[in-house]
Amino acid sequence: MDAEEDTSLTINAAIESGDTGRWYGRLIGLLGTYAKSDSKEGLLKELVEELDYHLDWLNRHGETERVPRNRSLQVAEEVGGIRGLGESGGEVALFGFDRTPVDSRLLEKGIRYMHHSRDDLMTTVHGLDDGTMDWVPSGKRRSIRDILSHVCNAEEFYLSKLGPEADGIYEGHLGMPVSRCDELPILERLPVVRSGCVQTLRELVPQKKGLVFQRAEYTAHPEEKWTAYKVMRRYLEHEREHIYNIREYLGYRPRGTGTSKDPGR
């Protein structure tokens, strides 16, 4: 099934900047889209490329979604002053569209997209030897194995934002203490964490609707605002970001050459 296209509509983007000098953005309503750059102008160019990638991604995973393939983007929301943007543990902006209530249809769509994204991640790392998994390229701080562990940690962090009750519910769905799960080999830990997260999301997200909430534990930014929609989109944005990172490690040419996102590599 091909993603439907409507060239009559404008693509709206939501972008953020902060104290790290980086710019991040996504296409509003297109869950999982993600781009970054060192400048606003560069980010807008990256978002044009991201739209093409996302349309191809939808088609490849058999999704139908009415999406305009329009090269003219409009910045509908821009938020500045985000602390630690792009760093582990840094803030992420709360946009107006993040207040969208997550109903059962949107929740299941997000979870389905999470499955597609995880398939991409596992395909990307399939068959890598230990040397490749543990290699840290020059100028980087993490190996591929470290990135995968970071993905797991981030998924647990996003889940925690749903409230203090999320911790016990998640551990119950894991079927083991979180500390024991942390000790699993990473390729075993990934599906266990994801399964526990999905089950917990199904249990808690319907209770949140469009509410804005905060949680002080596990963060240096206790005043950061969250919604169920923001939690869902961050699962997808963050995993896509690190799929791109791993593909770069494995020799994809930089973005802009048409191959950095190629799922066939």
Q: Give me the CATH number covering residue 79.
A: 3.30.160.250
Together in a domain, 62 and 126:
no
Q: Is residue 57 part of a domain?
A: yes
Together in a domain, 76 and 38:
yes
* Average pLDDT, rounded, for the chain: 91
Which residues, at least 6 apart from 82, have a Cβ–Cβ distance to it below 8 Å? 16, 17, 18, 19, 90, 91, 92, 93
Q: Give me the CATH number covering residue 195.
A: 1.20.120.450
69 pLDDT tier (thresholds 50, 70, 90): low
Together in a domain, 104 and 220:
yes
pLDDT digits (tens, 9 = 90+) for 137-172: 999 999 999 999 999 999 999 999 999 999 999 999
| Boundary-marking domain end, from 31, 54, 86 | 86
Can you give the pTM of this predicted structure? 0.91
Q: Is residue 254 part of a domain?
A: no
Q: Is residue 2 part of a domain?
A: no
Together in a domain, 104 and 228:
yes
Together in a domain, 125 and 245:
yes
Q: Is residue 3 part of a domain?
A: no
Question: Per mean pLDDT, which range of 9-13, 19-23, 40-44, 160-164 is the poorest?
Answer: 9-13
pLDDT digits (tens, 9 = 90+) for 3-12: 444 444 788 9
Domain of 51? 11-86
The total number of structural domains in the chain stands at: 2
- For the cut 50, the answer to whether the pLDDT of residue 255 exceeds it is no
Together in a domain, 121 and 222:
yes
Together in a domain, 180 and 203:
yes
Distance CA 96, CA 90 (A): 20
Together in a domain, 104 and 74:
no
